[in-house]
Amino acid sequence: MLSRTNRRTASKLGRHVSVHSYGGHPSQVGELFEPDVRPVGVAVVLHGGFWRARYDRHLMDDVCRDLAANGWLAWNLEYRRVGDGGGWPETFDDVEAGIAHLSGDQVPRVAIGHSAGGHLAFWAATRATGVTHVVSQAGVVDLHEADRLGLSRNAARELLGCAPDEDPERWRAASPAALAPLGVPQLLVHGEADDTVPAALSSVYAEKDAAAELRLLPGVGHYEHLDPRSTAWAVVREFLEGLSP
C-alpha cells in the first residue's frame, strides 16, 4: 500500500506499525497501524494541540492501537504546525496531501480528529480526499467562534496569520462552520465539562448541517477522548461499528 521508511512492532498489542513520508519536511509523515485481519475500513487520525508544533501525532497512539485492534487501518497523520513551518496554507496542504498519500479506494474512509484535529478532519471532508465520514472529538469546528473566544491565546489567528476582518475569504475557506454543509455524515462528540474547547462550538455547528450527529457527554472534559477506555471513545466506536460491513 505504501513504501515503508521505518517499521516497528507495537508489541503490547502485536499490531504492526510503520512510518511513511509523504513530503520532504520532517513533519510530513504518517504512522500506519495495521490490523491483524483484513481491514474493515481506513481511519485517518488527526491530533490536536491548537495546531502548534509542541504537540504531535503521538497524542493519538492509544486510539490508533484500539482502531487496529478492532479491524481498522489507522493512519496517524502528522503535519506541519505553527512554529515549525505550518500555518496557512501549509498545515492545510499537508492534511490534504497526507490523506491523498494513502493509495487505494477502500471505504469507509473516516477522518477522526481531536480538538484542532477535529477542525482539520472536518475541513478535509470539504476537499477531494475520498473521506466518506468524519468524527470530531471536542473539535474546534468553528474558527470564527474560536477567535471570538480567544481560545488558547488566539490560536486560530496564529494558524491563519491574520484577523478575520483582514482576510475574510481565508477565514471562510478554513473554517468548517463556514463551509457547512460538508456533504458527508458527521459525528461530533463533546464533553459538557470541557473548559478548553467549549461544547457550544459543536452544538452551534450541528445546527448548520443536517448530516451532523451531536453527542454531548455530561461530566466529560477535553482529554478523555484520547483514552480508548473512556465513554467518549465508546461513542466513536459505536459510530464506527455502524459503518463496518
Q: How do the domains of the chain map onto residue ranges?
A: 6-241
Mean confidence (pLDDT) of the chain = 93
Q: What is the pTM of this model?
A: 0.94
Per-residue confidence (pLDDT) for residue 106, from 0 to 100: 73
pLDDT of amino acid 15: 52
Q: Provide CB contacts within 8 A for 184, sequence distance 6+.
A: 125, 131, 132, 133, 134, 211
71-103: per-residue pLDDT in tens? Answer: 999 999 999 999 999 999 999 999 999 999 987
Instruction: Name the residue among 21, 199, 37 with its Cα closest to residue 118.
Output: 199
pLDDT in tens, 183-223: 999 999 999 999 999 999 999 999 999 999 999 999 999 99
Q: 8-31 pLDDT, tens per residue?
A: 444 343 458 999 999 999 999 999
What is the percentage of the chain residues whose pLDDT exceeds 70?
Answer: 93
Q: Could you tell me which of 203, 228, 196, 207 has the C-alpha nearest to residue 217?
A: 203
Pick the closest to residue 185 from 237, 99, 144, 243 (CA basis). 243
Residue 190: DSSP 8-state: E
- CATH fold of 6-241, please? Rossmann fold (3.40.50)
- Which amino acid does the sequence have at 202? S
Rounded Cα distance between 64 and 73, Å, is 9
| Cα distance between residue 53 and residue 94, in whole Å | 14
Distance CA 197, CA 35 (A): 32
168-174 mean pLDDT: 98
pLDDT tens digit string along 35-65? 999 999 999 999 999 999 999 999 999 999 9
What pLDDT is recorded for position 103?
74
Interhelix angle 231-241/61-69, rounded to 10 degrees, is 40
Dihedral (CA of 128, 131, 133, 134) sign: negative
